[in-house]
Amino acid sequence: MGRTGFPHPQGGKIKRVSRKLGLRQALSGALVVGLVLILTRQAAMAQTLAQDSSVNSTTSADPNGFWSNCGRWTFGAQLGFALENDIPHNISHIAILMAQPSVGLTLLNFHSPGFPISRFSVVSEGILGGAVHPGGHVIGHALLFRLDGKPVHRVVPFFNVGAGVLHTSVNDRAPELSGSTQFNPQGGLGIQYFFRPQRAFVLEYRYMHMSNNGIQEPNLGFNSSMITIGFRWLRRPRPLGSKVTEHGHNPVLSLSAKK
């Protein structure tokens, strides 16, 4: 208002200019906030992609990533074919086909770079099969001790040794065996090829003996060579950030991640 009581001629212009400035400031502030949210979201996505790529590159570059085990349990299934050899005799030409499901428990991991062994496990292995020749079933269980070697690219060698007890009817058709209860000490070498992380194909050779340990006479027994092929899988490690995400302690990142 002027001194005369009439509105000041410049007052309306000042108000209009102030409104325009306030509107521009509000639009500028909203634009800045929007840009910050967009850039923050892009940064969060880039960080996630970088972590995923680093995990993948580490897994592909480091062979240990393919066979690292989250926990101590290893599971497997193999199919074996055993053929009687001439040591010390081959009377019935026994040939056995068997399935071997297994569960392994890792007892020790060796991290010394100069030591050729990387893992020591105890393996419980089932035996379910029969004699292709001369006939009869074979059912039992074996307890094995396994030593894993150092990984070479995606290949991990291993050594198995142990023994089992069997119930069989092959003794009715082969003079090498007496009685339905037989024991089968065995040992062999094999390789695991990890075609995917914690997933491997297995190829193994075993030398196996079968006899009744003197429970019933005659106790000739027989020796055989066995080839097995199969599949083995380990528990996969949890992905990075699966328990606590990178957005957990940043409210801005959390807001952008939700959008």
- Over 60: is that where the pLDDT of 183 sits? yes
CB burial string 131-163: b at 16+ within 10 A, e below: beeeebbbebebebebbbbbbeebebbbbbebe
Structure confidence at residue 43 as a pLDDT band (50, 70, 90): low
What's the CA gap between 166 and 127, in Å, rounded? 8
DSSP letter for 211, please. Answer: B
Beta pairing class for 222-234 and 155-168: unpaired
Rounded to two decimals, the pTM is 0.68
- Over 60: is that where the pLDDT of 22 sits? no
Position 244 scores a pLDDT of: 41
Position 34 scores a pLDDT of: 62
| C-beta separation of 201 from 221 below 8 A | no
Position 121 scores a pLDDT of: 96
In tens, the pLDDT along 119-134 reads 999 999 999 999 999 9
Structure confidence at residue 71 as a pLDDT band (50, 70, 90): confident
Position 30 scores a pLDDT of: 61
What's the CA gap between 162 and 55, in Å, rounded? 38
Tokens, residue 231: 């599949």
- Over 90: is that where the pLDDT of 66 sits? no
Position 68 scores a pLDDT of: 75
Position 256 scores a pLDDT of: 42
Q: What is the rounded average pLDDT of the residues 201-224?
A: 96
In tens, the pLDDT along 91-122 reads 999 999 999 999 999 999 998 888 999 999 99
State the DSSP H helix or E strand holding residue 201, giving kind and residue range, or none if neither.
strand 199-210
Structure confidence at residue 59 as a pLDDT band (50, 70, 90): very low
Q: What is the rounded average pLDDT of the residues 240-256?
A: 44
Residue that wins the pLDDT comparison between 17 and 29: 29
- Over 80: is that where the pLDDT of 11 sits? no
Q: What is the rounded average pLDDT of the residues 150-164?
A: 95
In tens, the pLDDT along 84-96 reads 999 988 999 999 9
| C-beta separation of 66 from 59 below 8 A | yes
* Residue position matching structure tokens 């009439």: 6
Q: The dihedral of CA 81, 163, 116, 57: what is its sign? A: positive
CB burial string 81-100: b at 16+ within 10 A, e below: bbebeeeeeeebebebebeb
Structure confidence at residue 18 as a pLDDT band (50, 70, 90): very low
| C-beta separation of 54 from 84 below 8 A | no
DSSP letter for each residue of 53-115: HHHHHHHHH-THHHH--SSSEEEEEEEEEEEE--SS--SS--EEEEEEEEEEEEEEE---TT-
Of 162, 148, 167, 156, nearest in space to 98 by CA: 167
State the DSSP H helix or E strand holding residue 208, giving kind and residue range, or none if neither.
strand 199-210
- Over 70: is that where the pLDDT of 53 sits? no
